[in-house]
Amino acid sequence: MGSDSFGMMMCIFVGCLAAVSAGNFNEEFDITWGDGRGKIFNNGQLLTLTLDRYSGSGFQSKKQYLFGKIDMQLKLVPRNSAGTVTAYYLRSQGPTWDEIDFEFLGNLSGLPYTVHTNVYSQGKGDREQQFHLCFSVDGIPIREFKNLEAIGVPFPKNQPMRIYSSLWNADDWATRGGLIKTDWSQAPFTASYRNFKADGSRSWLLQQMDSTNQRRLYWVQKNHMIYNYCTDTKRFPQGFPKECAVH
C-alpha cells in the first residue's frame, strides 16, 4: 500500500515464500470467532480455520496498518470446496471505512478457484474484479488501484486497517451463483495460514509498480480476469465510475 497506488498481490499455496521470515500468530493475531474452530499450532507458526455445518471461524490482527507490504501464505480448502468462501482482507473502522478484499470462492474438484477482489474507500465499494487462479500467485500483482483523488475518487490512505480472515459458508452465491451447494459430507473444511510478514516501513509510501510488475499485471488481467466492473455496461447503463476512464 502506498500513497499513489497499491497493487493487490497474494502468495497462495505452501512453499511459495520460502525466503520470507515467519511471524508468530500468537503474537500477531487473535482468533475472534468460531468457538474453537480456529486454532494456532507449531509454537505460533501455523494457523488454521475450520468450517462445518454449524459454524465457520475467523481471526484478526492485533495491529493496524496504514501503509506497507503484507505477505501471507494461504493453503485454501482442497478438493471439493464448492459453497465455501475464504476471505482475506484489510478494513478500517467506522461508517466511512476503507477496505481491500480478497475472497476465494470455492469450487468443484478439478476446477480453478475464483478470487473476488474489491476496494472500498470512505465506505464506497462496488469495484469488483474476479480472476481464475489457474496459476500459483507468488508476488504477482493481479490488480492496481491508483490514487485518483484529483478527479474526485477517494483513496484509502488515511485510515489504519486491521487484517482479517474468515472461512464461512456462502452457498447461496459463491459457486456458480449459488447453483452448486456445499457438500457437507466433505466437512470439516480447513484453510491454513503460515509465514506472515508485515513490512510497515515508510518507504512503502513512495512505492510504485515497476515495469516488470506492470507487464505481469497486464498478463494476469488479459489471461485470467473473468469479471471487471469497469466493462459491465448492464450494471452501469448511465456510465462507468470515474476511475474506469483511467484504469
**Residues with active-site annotation:** 99, 103
Closest to 24 measured CA to CA, from 50, 42, 48: 42
Contact in structure between 141 and 9 (CB atoms under 8 Å): yes
Give Cα 71 distance to the centre of its chain.
11
DSSP calls for the chain: --SSEEEEEEEESTTTTTTSPPPPHHHHEEEEESTT-EEEEGGGTEEEEEE-SS--EEEEESS-BSS-EEEEEEEPPPS--TTEEEEEEEE--STT--EEEEEEE---TTSPEEEEEEEEBTTB----EEEEE-S--EEEEEEEEE--GGGT---S-SS-BEEEEEEEE-TTTTTGGGTS---GGGPPEEEEEEEEEEE--GGGGG----HHHHHHHHHHHHHHEEEEGGG-TTT-TT---GGGGT-
Cβ of 111: how many Cβ atoms within 10 Å? 15
